[in-house]
Structure 1
Amino acid sequence: MTLSPCEPVPVAAGLPSRALADSAELDWAGVRVREMSDPHVADFALPPVESLTVVVVTAGSYVVESGTGKGRRHALVAPGTSSVNAPNREVRARWRSSSRVPFRSVHLSLATSVVEQTREALGRPSRSVDPDYLRRDDAFVEAAVTELGRAARLGLPALHAQTVAQSVASHLLLGTAAENDRLGGGLPAPVLGVVVDLMHERLADPLTLDELAAAAHLSRHHFLRRFAASTRTTPMRYLTSLRLQRAQELLQNDDLTVQAVAARCGYPNPAHFTSAFRREHGLTPSAYRELRR
C-alpha cells in the first residue's frame, strides 16, 4: 500500500493533555503518533476530524464518560486498555480521579485515506461501519500502538511506522463484527467513580467486597455483575491492580524499604506482596527497584 508522502494527518485541537513526543515532523505519511501526559481531571469537547484515532492508556486509571444524553457511555480505563474514535465524529469526554499515579497515553491518528485503502485491500465495503468504542482489552492494539509510541520517541523510519499502523487499521476493520461495546448493564459513571475513589483511598487498608458494594448502594451479587460489565474484571482484581501500580511508584523511592512499600499498598505480609508483585509484573519488588535504577 502506497501513501502520499505529503498527506497531512488531521488531529483534534483542544485536548487537555500535554504531548511528550510527536511524530508530526517525521514525515510518516497518513500516520501521526503522540505520547501524552494526561491530567487527573478533564472535561472537554473536540470537533470532528477526518482521521481515525486509537488511544492506548499506558499509566494510570480513571473512569471516563463520553457522549451526551442517550448516547452517553462510560468505562474504567487502565494501562493496556484502548479506545477508538471513528472519523468525522465529535468527541465529548470527561473524567476525574484522586489517584496520584501519573496518567499517560499514546494516540495514533490514521488519515481517512489510510483507513479506506486498508478497507479496500481487505475487500470490505466502502460504506461499512468504522470501528468506534470507548474501552476494550486488546493485546494486539496495545502492543502495536505502544510500539508506535516508541518509534515516535526514537524517530524511526516511516516504513516501520506505516507498516505497524496499517496492521492496526486492518485488525480493527476485521474486528467490526464486535462493534461498539456498550458495556450494557454496567455501573453509572458517577457510581463507578465513587467505587474507584474508595479503592484509591484505601490502598493501604483492608477493603472488602461488601464495603465496595455498599458504596455503590447495591447488593454484593448485583455489584459484582455490574462492576464486571463496566470493567471486564472483578472488583478485587482491579483493587489488586491499583495496589501494585502504587507499589511500582513507591519502589522508585529508595528511602522506603520493600516492607514499608508492601504495608502502604495493603500487604502486611511482605512475602504475599512479593508473590503478588511477581505475578503482576514478572519480577520481584527488589528486582524491579534495581531495574529502575
Structure 2
Amino acid sequence: MKRSDPTNHAVAARHLHAERIPAEAMLRYMPSAHRALAPRPGLRDVVLQLFSHRSIAEPILVPAVAEPLLVMVLAGAATVEERDLGGEWAATEVEVGDFYLTNSAQPYEMRWQTRGGDTFEVMHLYLAHSLIDQAARDVLGAQADSVNFRDVSGGRDSLVRVLLEQLRVELVEAREPSPLFVRGLAQALSVHLVRTYRDPLSTTRRANSLQAYKLRRVIDLMHERLAADFCLADLAETAQLSEYHFSRLFKRATGASPSQYFIRLRMARARQLLLDTDRSVIDIGMEVGYSSPSHFSQVFRREVGMTPSAYRSPERA
C-alpha cells in the first residue's frame, strides 16, 4: 500500500500507537460484519478473517499488525482511500481478485466507497513470521536476514489470487481442513511473496528481536495456558532467556509486552466463544482465566470497548 509520508506531526503524535496487535485483534478495528474462524490445532501459522464492508465516509485507524497482512477482494468493487497519519489521501479502484499487502510498522487511515452495490467482501490472511523466515532462507540462503515486504495497494497477481482462494476454500468450506495442505499453500505463498514483493532496502523489521522459532514456541504455550495465571518465568524458560531479556526481545518482535499479548489472546478466544457458542459469560470467562465475572467484564470492556454481553448481542445492549 503506497502511502505518502506524514506531514502533520501533531496529528501523528495524537494517534500513533507503537504497539503491533496480534492478527486476531484486528476484528475490533473493522466497523463491518465479520466472520472469524475458530482456531484449529496445527493451523496457527495462518489466520483467516472474512469481512463484508459497506461504504464508510469517516476514516478508520488501522493499527500495525505483528504479522504480514494480505487482503483480497472476494466480491463487489470499491474505491479505497489510504493515507499515513496526517498525510494526503491516495485512492485505488479495486474489484474481485485485487489484493493488498502490508507489512507496515505504523498505523494508517482508510475509508472506502462501494461501487455498483451496497457491500464488497474481502478476506484477510495473516502469515506467521516462521513461514516468512523459512521462505527467506529457502529463497535467499540459510543466512538470510529477516525480510520486509513492499506495500501493495490494489495489486493483481494471478498466483497470489489462486493461492489465497485455495486457502479460503480449504479453511472455510472443507469440513476437516488439512493442516498439511494449508501449510503447503501458505509456504508456497510465502515463497512467492519473498521472491516478488521483498523490499531490498528494508531488512530491519525485527532486528535484535526474539527468534521466530522461539516466538512461536512461546505463543503456542500461551494458547495452551489461557486459563492459567500468566507466568513470565515459564515463558522465559521456554525461550531459554532471562525474564528481562525475554520481555525486551518479545516486545521488539510483537510490539507488545508478554502480559499484554497474553491478555489479547485471551480476549480473542473469548470473542470467538461469545459469538460461536451459547455458553454463559461466566463459563467463557473461566475458560480464559477469569474466575471473577466482574474482572472478566472489566478486562473485556477495556480491550474490546464493550461488555461481553453487549458484544454477543449488540442489538440488546
1:90 to 107, 132, 149: 107
1:24–1:33 Cα contact (<8 Å) kept: no
2:68–2:102 Cα contact (<8 Å) kept: yes
Aligned partners of 1:142 and 1:11: how far apart in 2?
25
1:170 aligns with 2:191: yes
1:37 aligns with 2:52: yes
TM-score, with length taken from structure 1: 0.52
Aligned partners of 1:62 and 1:138: how far apart in 2?
18
Give % identity: 21
2:79–2:115 Cα contact (<8 Å) kept: no
Q: Which residue of 1 aligns with 2:75?
A: 59
Structure 1 unaligned segments of length 5 or more: list them. 1-7, 180-293
Q: Which amino acid aligns with 1:17?
A: S
Q: Which amino acid aligns with 1:100?
A: G
1:156 to 172, 177, 198: 177
Could you tell me how far 1:66 is from its partner in structure 2? 1.1
Q: Which residue of 1 aligns with 2:29?
A: 14
Q: Which amino acid aligns with 1:15?
A: M
| Residues 145/11 of structure 1: CA separation in 2 closer, same or farther (3 Å cut) | farther
| Residues 29/63 of structure 1: CA separation in 2 closer, same or farther (3 Å cut) | same
Could you tell me how far 1:44 is from its partner in structure 2? 1.2
Aligned partners of 1:55 and 1:98: how far apart in 2?
18
Aligned partners of 1:16 and 1:152: how far apart in 2?
23
Could you tell me how far 1:108 is from its partner in structure 2? 0.7
Structural mapping, 1:174-253, within 5 Å? 174-176=195-197
Q: Deviations over 1:144-202 (max 9, x none)?
A: 111111112124111111111121111111012699xxxxxxxxxxxxxxxxxxxxxxx
1:139 aligns with 2:139: no
1:56–1:81 Cα contact (<8 Å) kept: yes
Could you tell me how far 1:52 is from its partner in structure 2? 0.6
Could you tell me how far 1:39 is from its partner in structure 2? 1.9
Could you tell me how far 1:89 is from its partner in structure 2? 3.4
Aligned partners of 1:26 and 1:16: how far apart in 2?
29
Over the residues paired in the alignment, what is the CA RMSD in angstroms? Answer: 2.7
Structure 2 unaligned segments of length 5 or more: list them. 1-21, 201-317
Aligned partners of 1:105 and 1:40: how far apart in 2?
13
